[in-house]
Chain A
Amino acid sequence: DIQMTQSPSSLSASVGDRVTITCRASQGISNYLAWYQQKPGKVPKLLIYAASTLQSGVPSRFSGSGSGTDFTLTISSLQPEDVATYYCQKYNSAPQGLTFGGGTKVEIK
């Protein structure tokens, strides 16, 4: 099974900082990667799919990149409302199971 490893597990940054979260797959997964945001006490929300496609309504300060085994989620200018845990999720070209990364908790310094 393909494992998804996120780093760091947590980070603290200042408002306005550029924040980068990494997700690494144990094998190549092309661009079959999504990112989710889960604010404290809330339901997860889809941010990005196909590694770099922004879901409708998601602020443009969020972006995704990568292909193969290494992926990044970038917040270009961290805002207070971005405090959340972020998860990557790999999927497959054909419907099968899904695998989430362990999550990255983002806090304001």
Chain B
Amino acid sequence: EVQLVESGGGLVQPGGSLRLSCAASGFTFSSYWMSWVRQAPGKGLEWVANIKQDGSEKYYVDSVKGRFTISRDNAKNSLYLQMNSLRAEDTAVYYCASLGSGQWLVYWGQGTLVTVSS
């Protein structure tokens, strides 16, 4: 059974940092592109970042470029999102998800809530 389990969310002050983790199991993690997607409270879905199987390609939504960094450790079957210079508008549930053979999101984790507030 495919499982994606996020962790690392919490309350952080504006300007602060957090590192989210996503532990993958039940599939060959190293064979798939991975994504982070977020959802602000009561709002729609917003794609945040993608990373290629070997980490050699990364893409970000404009609003997080220069502040967030996506990375992965295939030996640990883990995906990460380092979030710096956090803003109130980054408050959201953050999901990790695996990409299918195309760029659609097949499996999703349960999400971890990030709250940016003073």
Contact = CB atoms under 8 A, between A and B. Distances in A.
A-B complex is real: yes
Interface of A: 32, 34, 36, 38, 43-46, 49-50, 55, 85, 87, 89, 91-92, 95-103
Contacts of A91: 102-104
A17 B88 CA distance: 41
B11 interface: no
Contact of A43 (B33, B59, B103, B108): B108
Given A32-B103, A87-B44, A97-B60, 9 more contacts: A32-B102, A34-B105, A38-B45, A46-B105, A49-B104, A95-B52, A95-B59, A98-B103, A101-B44
B111 A100 contact: no
Contacts, number: 70
A52 to B, nearest CB: 13
Interface residues of B, number: 25
B71 interface: no
B45 A50 contact: no
B105 A43 contact: no
Nearest to A91: B103
B108 A99 contact: no
Interface of B: 33, 35, 37, 44-47, 50, 52, 57, 59-61, 95, 99-100, 102-106, 108-111
B47 A100 contact: yes
Given A95-B52, A95-B57, A97-B50, A49 B45 contact: no
A44 B35 contact: no
B103 A44 contact: no
A99 to B, nearest CB: 7
Contacts of B108: 43-45
Contacts of A87: 44-45
A96 B45 contact: no
Nearest to B47: A98
A74 B61 CA distance: 30
Contacts of A32: 102-103
Contacts of A38: 45
B44 A100 contact: yes
